[in-house]
A and B are shown apart, each in its own frame.
Chain A
Amino acid sequence: MSTKDRIIFEDVSKFYGEILGVNRVNLSIPPGITSLVGPNGSGKTTLMNLMTGLIRPTQGRIEVLGCRTNDPETLFKLVGYSTQFDALPKGLTGFQFVNSYLRLTGMDSRKAEQMAMQAIERVGLTDSASRNINGYSKGMRQRIRLAQALAHNPQVLILDEPLNGLDPLARSEMIALFRWAAEQGSYVLISSHILHEVDVISDQVVLMSNGYVVAEGAIHAVRSEIREHPTQILVRCDRPRELAAKVMGSIDTIEISIHKDEHGLLLKTRNADDFYLALNKIALNGIEIESVAPADDDVLSVYEYLIGNEEVAR
Chain B
Amino acid sequence: MMQLWQAQVKAVIRLELRKTFFARRGLWIYFLALLPVLLFVGYSITNSLQLRQSSGIARRGEKPLAYQDLLAVHSGMTKDEVIAALGRPPVVFHWDDRRDDESGKATSVKHEEYRYSDGVNDLYVSLEDGKVENTNLQEGYNLGRDSIMFAGVFQFFFLRLAVFFGCLGIFMNLFRGEILDRSLHFYFLSPIRRDVLMVGKFLAGLVATCVIFVTSELLQNVAFLWHLSPAVRDLYLYRNHGLEHALAYLGVTMLACVGYGAFFLVAGMLFKNPILPTAAILIWEGINPFLPALLKQFSVIYYLKALCPVNIPTPPAMSPVMALLISNPNPISPIIAICGLLVVAAIGLYGSSLQVRRMEINYTTE
A53–B193 alpha-carbon span in the complex (Å): 12
- B19, B189, B194: the one within 8 Å of A91 (CB): B19
Q: Is A77 an interface residue (CB 8 A)?
A: yes
Segment at the B interface, from A82-90, A264-272, A292-300:
A82-90
Indicate if the CB atoms of A85 and B190 lie closer than 8 Å. no
The answer, yes or no, to whether A74 is at the interface (CB within 8 Å) is yes
| Contact-size category for B | 20 to 34
CB within 8 Å: A-B pair count = 85
- Give the CA-CA distance A54 to B194 in the complex, in Å: 11
A88 CA to B11 CA, complexed, in Å: 17
**In the docked arrangement, what's the CA distance between A88 and B19, Å?**
12
Q: Is the interface of B mostly helix, strand, loop or mixed?
A: helix
B190 CB to closest chain A CB (Å) equals: 4
**Given A55-B360, A91-B19, A104–B191 Cβ distance below 8 Å?**
yes
With a cutoff of 8 Å between Cβ atoms, the chain B residues found around residue A73 in the complex are 191-193, 196
| Stretch of B41-49, B70-78, B178-186 on the interface side | B178-186
Given contacts A54-B360, A89-B19, A89-B183, whether A100 and B191 have CB atoms under 8 Å apart is no
Is there contact, CB below 8 Å, between B183 and A76? Answer: no
The digit string for B1-45, where 1 denotes a CB below 8 A from any CB of A, is 001100110011011001100110000000000000000000000
Complex: how many Å from CA A55 to CA B358? 9
Distance, CA A104 to CA B7, complexed state (A): 8
Q: How many residues of A contact B (CB 8 A)?
A: 32
Q: Is B363 an interface residue (CB 8 A)?
A: yes
Residues of chain B contacted by A52 (CB below 8 angstroms)? 189
Q: Determine the residue in chain B with the shortest Cβ distance to A99.
A: B11
Choose from B19, B22, B190, B357 the contact partner of A101 (Cβ within 8 Å). Answer: B190
Complex partner residue of A16 from B12, B181, B186, B365, CB under 8 angstroms = B365
- B287 CB–A CB distance under 8 Å: no
Q: Is A103 an interface residue (CB 8 A)?
A: yes
CA distance A72 to B190 in the complex (A): 7
A95 at the interface (CB under 8 A from B): no
Contact of A129 with B by CB under 8 A:
no
CB of B278, distance to nearest CB on chain A (Å): 24
Q: Which of B191-209 contact A (CB under 8 A)?
A: 191-194, 196
User: Which residue of chain B is the closest to A88 with respect to CB atoms?
Assistant: B183
Question: CB distance B190 to A76 under 8 Å?
Answer: yes
CB-based contact A56/B360 at 8 Å: yes
A75 at the interface (CB under 8 A from B): yes
Q: Does A187 contact B (CB under 8 A)?
A: no
Residue of B with least CB distance to A77: B191
Task: Name B's A-contacting residues (CB within 8 A).
Answer: 3-4, 7-8, 11-12, 14-15, 18-19, 22-23, 181-183, 185-194, 196, 357, 360-363, 365
Leading 10 A-B pairs by shortest Cβ distance:
A76-B191, A87-B182, A103-B11, A104-B190, A54-B361, A106-B7, A106-B4, A55-B360, A87-B183, A77-B191
Task: Name A residues whose Cβ lies closer than 8 Å to a Cβ of B.
Answer: 16, 49, 52-56, 70, 72-77, 81, 83, 85-91, 100-101, 103-108, 152
